[in-house]
Amino acid sequence: MTRLSVNLNKIAVLRNSRGGQSPDLLQASRVCLDAGAHGLTVHPRPDARHVRADDVFALAALAQARGVEFNLEGNPFAPPRPGYPGFHALCEQARPAQATLVPDDDGQLTSDHGFDFVRDAGALAPQVERLKALGCRVSLFADAGSAVERAAAIGADRIEIYTGPYADAHGTGGAAGPLRLCAETARRAQGAGLGVNAGHDLSQTNLGAFLDAVPAVLEVSIGHALIGEALYDGLAVTVARYLAILPAARG
């Protein structure tokens, strides 16, 4: 079964643009969970442009109370600074069910590439080990076509396929090639003993075709499109529509 984890970053961006606590991140999270979402995702960045450390702890407590997965994304190599204790420190306190490592720099607008597993394996291995010692399942952000077998060799539990190129191609009618590459990457990862997640620019328009073509995707993390669509149709309705696209619902 493919599970839906709602990324809440965009709600925090809207809140931060005005200051204060509106829209309320916890209230939005409860609406998503009440509508059937399987988990919550956030990606705190060192500049605190959206979710902050206090948000991470509050959402972790909510996820634990509701018995759902909390997925914490971030760059384990970004140094701590005022207001950002570092990714490992956040994981030590929040104890997310899943830690997703992403190689984003401070200046990136959004995550736009996965790890180079050949080049980065030596640096990633101790990061993965530390997080697994905390009880976290560890997922590594991966480009379609990358050497995902190396992710298994350094101890990761899953990869998250970066689906931005597929989503871009889907919008122009040229998705067949990127979709085949995603499917091949998923099969190779699964053959190496890894679970497969997916995320970035997935939407109601392109999610169904992706899940039809890519085998045994365990989890999709969706935020930007979901929150944008919810502006028109409402948050609970939008979450329900995503759940209806997942294979178990359609089957």
Would you name the residues annotated as active-site residues? 43, 73, 200
CA 219 to chain CA centroid, Å, is 9
Instruction: Report yes or no: 59 and 70 within 8 Å, Cβ to Cβ.
Output: yes
Q: How many whole angstroms separate alpha carbon 121 and alpha carbon 115? A: 9
How much is the CA Rg of the chain, to the nearest whole Å?
A: 17
Instruction: Report yes or no: 197 and 161 within 8 Å, Cβ to Cβ.
Output: yes
Q: How many whole angstroms separate alpha carbon 212 and alpha carbon 223? A: 21
Query: Which helix (H) or strand (E) is 212 found in, with range?
Result: helix 207-213
Instruction: Report yes or no: 196 and 161 within 8 Å, Cβ to Cβ.
Output: yes
- φ/ψ (deg, to 5) at 160: -115, 110
3-state DSSP call for residue 108? coil
Q: How many whole angstroms separate alpha carbon 27 and alpha carbon 38? A: 16
3-state DSSP call for residue 41? strand
